[in-house]
Amino acid sequence: MLKLKNIRKTYKIGDIETIALDGIDISFREKEFVAILGASGSGKTTCLNIIGGLDRYDSGEMTIKGKETKDFKEKDWDAYRNNSIGFIFQSYNLITHLSIVANVELSLTLSGVSPAEKRKKALNVLEKVGLKDHLHKKPNQLSGGQMQRVAIARALVNDPEILLCDEPTGALDTATSIQIMELIKEIAKDRLVIMVTHNPEIANEYADRIVQFKDGNIISDTNPYVEESKTDGFNLKKTSMSFFTALNLSFNNIMTKKGRTFLTAFASSIGIIGIAIILSLSTGFQVQIDKFQGDAMAEFPIIMSQTSTQMTEENLNEVSGQIPIGNKKEYVSSDEIFLYDPNENSFVHKNIFTNDFMDYLNKIDPNICSSIGYTRLVNMNLVRKLDDKVIPVSISSGMASMATESRMSNMSSMQNAGLSSYPIQLNKTEGNYLEKNYELIYGNYPQNERDLVLVVDTKNRINFQTLKNLGFDTLDTQNIKFKDIVGVEFKAILNNDYYMKTEFGTYLPDTDYEKMYNSEDSITLRIAGIVRQSPESNLGILSAGIAYSDELSQFIIDKAVESDIVKDQKQVDYNIMTKKEFSSDEKDSFLSVLGGNATPFMVMVYPYSFEDKDAVAAYLDNYNAGKPKEDVIVYTDLAKTISNMTGGIMNGITLVLIAFAAVSLIVSLIMICIITYTSVLERTKEIGILKSLGARKKDITRVFDAETCILGIFSGVLGVTIAMLCTIPINQVILKAADLKDVAQLKISYAIILVIVSTVLTMLGGHIPARMASKKDAVEALRSE
Ligand code: ADP
Ligand code: MG
């Protein structure tokens, strides 16, 4: 049934060629015990390996049950080794990290037998070889004879047609050898057994037929067999190993080196730990920043002011939103210096709020902009009746003095000064600015434009001067009751009643306050309530003192424009009250103070949210588009400047840190490669054994893939767990340092992704050595120690 014809096999080491088999012709019967006898190096093992399909012949023919092996594919060889061949080696070749039963079950595992059946068959053969009591021992707990019995059991468990034994008693003492030989002889009763030995006594004692080898040739055969050619439906059952079996095999292997596996997993998890911590910190900080932006800056207005600013072409573009603010400076490389006239490149820009612009602004979508605030320089002429005496009073408006002396375009100076009128609500359904940002501590919120409110600070304090100017007695007292303030009435006096024209054509404030008070044109104003900034509010733009609605100032301006003093002032270039010459802007400012200028000094647009702010900016940019630079409206979006900075910094930091962590991930990937590679080297013998049992290349790759898979999952989980533990002290430090709670938090989704990334990368890193392992030559692998 097995026929070798003219089989030649040579090995080459460097340039030297060794002839292992030199044209062997031999046939075997279906059932016989053949001993191949010969000195060392005569080619016995090579011949056996070729019969077992572990090695390939160079030329010649091998026929199994009439089927020519020339046509065998890789998987046919695997199936042949698994189903038809049982190997017994001189050095047992057991897998040391598997128990006795597991070793025996291994070839059944490869042929895909169910666990219950596997166990039954394994117990059966183990009983036959007399090892029933040692099932769960590891090979190194057995004697040599017992190990060889395990090897025999493993070879027999698949009930192979051919048993190949390479010096099965070579490593055993005489007494044990006899037992083993008796066992093999017993087995040979119902199959072909080919045994290689250099011991003529053993061959003579047990074998039915002795074939003598010398220098790769047959020199004698005691019972030659000439095969009649016949084909008897030789069928091979394909082997297959499931990934789960591979996992099981690798898991057992990993368990034998727990310490090393843990260290490896820990080392390779460092990259994962790094990335996990960075991600949890950066998402945490981003959440904090977003919250802060939402809380603190979303309502920051976009500010446009009539003040003149010195600007260059570039920063005009910048502040009018045409290029993003950043630190991108352009540098020129040159060996010359360039001369320029600063007057040509820079200019004084003044926002001119034309009627067109004001109309455009008023048409803004109330869904993106909650309110618009105006600052007007108009001074209100106020009188108050106190104990039947009418006296002049004033609500100190920081703006009037400021407009003339300083250029203000930023938030800090605005907040220092504060505003006196609160913004106009565009969307009537939303809570109004005052109610949203200021809590009422006494009286009522204003019901109409003639109601005033007194704004105090969080400690209910107010500058004594403010109340003194309003006619309150601040000399003998430190505190004034709410009820003494709320309900107090003033009268706003129109310019025509307030100023009188002198014979020189100038104007002077009148002093007949009684008359003013009683004039039918006077407007009664009343302090309706006392408010202060509420704790939730981030946008207290009102200065301490009296605050009023913009409608009131507009009403007063409407009247003032018609007044004599304004009309006359417009005609002349000197101060109509003092006759002093004006310099540059002074006339405009003075007119504004008198109420002769209907356009506001400053406009503030309040968006609802950050996104809305961008929409508002886009709306303004749209107005600017295509306008010559002097007509452009320059606006300041302070929040954008701040958030651009924070967002950019955050992204930058995260990227840099992730890059660092990625480096450690790459390092650990390389490490995994090396470790898998050493594992391959270490397990070379196991690869050989698996192959001799009929494992396919795929199965070998799987075993190592399974190992790196376990390692990857373990190091991923370990990394994520360590990172999560690290967030506890990190959060404590951040809480102490920055007073932010629970900043570092690893999202579950990130954790899962990181474990997957770790597994995939580790498997990738281990796959190349795994492929190398699968390509290892079985004979070579078995030779290695
Ligand atoms: P035996 O088993 O009879 O001692 P082998 O079949 O192992 O002999 O070896 C036959 C010849 O082939 C020897 O000269 C040996 O050195 C050579 N040989 C066997 N295997 C290899 C190999 N893998 N590489 C190179 N030479 C080999
Ligand atoms: Mg040998």
pLDDT, tens digit (0-9, with 9 covering 90-100), for 497-551:
899 888 888 888 888 888 888 888 899 999 999 999 888 776 777 888 888 888 8
Determine which residue's CA is closest to atom 6 belonging to ligand 1.
Answer: 43
Q: Is the pLDDT confidence value at 140 over 50? A: yes
Query: In whole angstroms, what is the distance from residue 548 CA to residue 470 CA?
Result: 15
Query: In whole angstroms, what is the distance from residue 354 CA to residue 333 CA?
Result: 43
198 CA closest ligand 1 atom index:
3
Q: Is the pLDDT confidence value at 151 over 80? A: yes
Q: Is the pLDDT confidence value at 296 over 70? A: no
Higher pLDDT, 593 or 540: 593
Task: Answer for the pair 11, 20: CB distance below 8 angstroms, yes or no.
Answer: yes
Higher pLDDT, 274 or 318: 274
Element at 614 (helix H, strand E): helix 610-624
Q: Is the pLDDT confidence value at 742 over 90? A: no
User: What band does 344 get if pLDDT is binned at 50, 70 and 90?
Assistant: low
How confident is the model over 467-489, as pLDDT tens digits?
A: 888 888 888 778 888 998 999 99
- Structure confidence at residue 407 (pLDDT): 36
- Token pair in block for residue 102: 């597991």
Q: How far is the CA of 4 from the centre of ligand 2 (A)?
A: 19
Higher pLDDT, 585 or 34: 34
The proportion of the chain whose per-residue pLDDT surpasses 90, expressed as a percent, equals 28
> Whose structure tokens read 């199936």?
79
Higher pLDDT, 284 or 324: 284
Name the CA dihedral angle for 557, 561, 565, 568, rounded to a multiple of 10 degrees.
150
Distant-in-sequence, close-in-space partners of 145: CB < 8 Å, separation ≥ 6: 172, 176, 179, 180
Indicate left, alpha or beta for 443 from its phi (over 0: left) and psi (-120 to 50: alpha): left
User: What band does 316 get if pLDDT is binned at 50, 70 and 90?
Assistant: low
Q: Which of 49-63, 119-133, 135-149, 392-406 has the lowest mean pLDDT?
A: 392-406
Q: How far is the CA of 46 from the centre of ligand 1 (A)?
A: 6
What's the chain's average pLDDT?
84
Query: In whole angstroms, what is the distance from residue 43 CA to residue 215 CA?
Result: 7
Q: Give mean pLDDT, residues 32-58.
A: 94
- Structure confidence at residue 640 (pLDDT): 67
- Structure confidence at residue 38 (pLDDT): 94
Phi/psi at 509 (5° precision): -65, 135
CB of 41 within 6 A of ligand 1: the answer is yes
Determine which residue's CA is closest to atom 17 belonging to ligand 1.
Answer: 20
Q: How far is the CA of 309 from the centre of ligand 2 (A)?
A: 98
- Token pair in block for residue 395: 């609500």
Q: How far is the CA of 215 from the centre of ligand 1 (A)?
A: 10
CB of 49 within 6 A of ligand 1: the answer is no
- Closest by Cα among 579, 633, 607, 586 to 377: 586
Q: Per DSSP, what are the bridge partners of residue 18?
A: 11
Determine which residue's CA is closest to atom 21 belonging to ligand 1.
Answer: 11
Return the sign of the alpha-carbon dihedral for residues 172, 173, 179, 185.
Answer: positive
CA-CA distances (angstroms) from residue 80 to 34, 236, 521? Answer: 20, 6, 117
CB of 18 within 6 A of ligand 1: the answer is yes
Q: Give mean pLDDT, residues 586-612.
A: 83
- By three-state DSSP, how is residue 487 classified? coil
Q: Give mean pLDDT, residues 262-274.
A: 87
Query: In whole angstroms, what is the distance from residue 421 CA to residue 726 CA?
Result: 51
Task: Answer for the pair 484, 587: CB distance below 8 angstroms, yes or no.
Answer: no
Name the DSSP class of 692. Answer: H
Task: Answer for the pair 160, 121: CB distance below 8 angstroms, yes or no.
Answer: no
- Structure confidence at residue 213 (pLDDT): 96
- Closest by Cα among 463, 431, 21, 81 to 237: 81
Q: Is the pLDDT confidence value at 492 over 80? A: yes
Taking the CB of residue 604, how many other CB atoms lie within 10 A of it? 22
Q: Give mean pLDDT, residues 53-81.
A: 90
Q: Which of 7, 16, 46, 55 to mutate to test the pocket of ligand 1 (most atoms within 8 A of CB)?
A: 46
Task: Answer for the pair 268, 716: CB distance below 8 angstroms, yes or no.
Answer: no
Determine which residue's CA is closest to atom 5 belonging to ligand 1.
Answer: 43
How deeply is 736 buried, as exposed, middle or buried, from its count of CB atoms within 10 A (0-12, 13-18, 19+)?
exposed
| Alpha-carbon 235 to chain mean position | 55
Distant-in-sequence, close-in-space partners of 624: CB < 8 Å, separation ≥ 6: 320, 321, 322, 632, 633
Query: In whole angstroms, what is the distance from residue 150 CA to residue 142 CA?
Result: 10
User: What band does 232 get if pLDDT is binned at 50, 70 and 90?
Assistant: low
CA-CA distances (angstroms) from residue 691 to 48, 49, 161, 567, 648? Answer: 15, 12, 18, 109, 58
Helices vs strands, H then E, count in the chain: 28, 26
CB of 43 within 6 A of ligand 1: the answer is yes
Query: In whole angstroms, what is the distance from residue 84 CA to residue 350 CA?
Result: 98
Q: Is the pLDDT confidence value at 456 over 80? A: yes
Task: Answer for the pair 527, 546: CB distance below 8 angstroms, yes or no.
Answer: yes
Answering whether pTM is above 0.85, one says no
CA atoms within 13 A on the CB side of 558: 6
Q: Which of 17, 45, 215 to mutate to test the pocket of ligand 1 (most atoms within 8 A of CB)?
A: 45
Q: Which of 9, 17, 18, 212 to mutate to test the pocket of ligand 1 (most atoms within 8 A of CB)?
A: 18
Q: Give mean pLDDT, residues 595-611.
A: 82
Phi/psi at 592 (5° precision): -60, -45
User: What band does 231 get if pLDDT is binned at 50, 70 and 90?
Assistant: low
- Structure confidence at residue 310 (pLDDT): 67
Distant-in-sequence, close-in-space partners of 659: CB < 8 Å, separation ≥ 6: none
> Whose structure tokens read 């767990």?
721
Phi/psi at 499 (5° precision): -105, 145
213 CA closest ligand 1 atom index:
3
Q: How far is the CA of 166 from the centre of ligand 2 (A)?
A: 7
> Whose structure tokens read 């979303």?
298
Determine which residue's CA is closest to atom 2 belonging to ligand 1.
Answer: 45
- Structure confidence at residue 406 (pLDDT): 37
User: What band does 53 get if pLDDT is binned at 50, 70 and 90?
Assistant: very high
- Token pair in block for residue 14: 């460097």
